[in-house]
């Protein structure tokens, strides 16, 4: 199953921090889709994470929750 691409916007991470998703890029060799996002704290670093990992759910206190949750789309 193919994961839907996240829309640009502000997302909250399940651990509490917030991030701005800029878009989806592709690895130059494998064409794997990678989500490009910026931390909205600290030094505002840029990060990439595989799309499948960005959109997956994680278990918190025995309950599935999204790794990233859209707060506001741009």
* Residue 3 resides in a domain: no
d(CA 9, CA 32): 21
Number of domains comprising the chain? 1
Q: Which CATH number fits the domain that encloses residue 44? A: 2.30.30.320
Q: What is the pLDDT of residue 4?
A: 74
Instruction: From first to last of the 74 residues of the chain, give the pLDDT tens digit.
Output: 444 789 999 999 999 999 999 999 999 999 999 999 999 999 999 999 999 999 999 999 999 999 999 999 99
Q: What is the pLDDT of residue 38?
A: 99
Predicted model pTM: 0.89
* Residue 44 resides in a domain: yes
Domain membership of residue 45 as a residue range:
9-73
């Amino acid at each position: 199953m193919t994961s839907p691409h996240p829309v640009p916007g502000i997302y909250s991470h399940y651990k509490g921090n917030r991030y701005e998703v800029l878009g989806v890029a592709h690895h130059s060799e494998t064409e794997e889709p990678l989500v490009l996002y910026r931390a909205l704290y600290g030094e505002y670093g840029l990060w990439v994470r595989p799309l499948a990992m960005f959109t997956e759910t994680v278990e918190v206190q025995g309950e599935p929750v999204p790794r990233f949750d859209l707060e506001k789309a741009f």
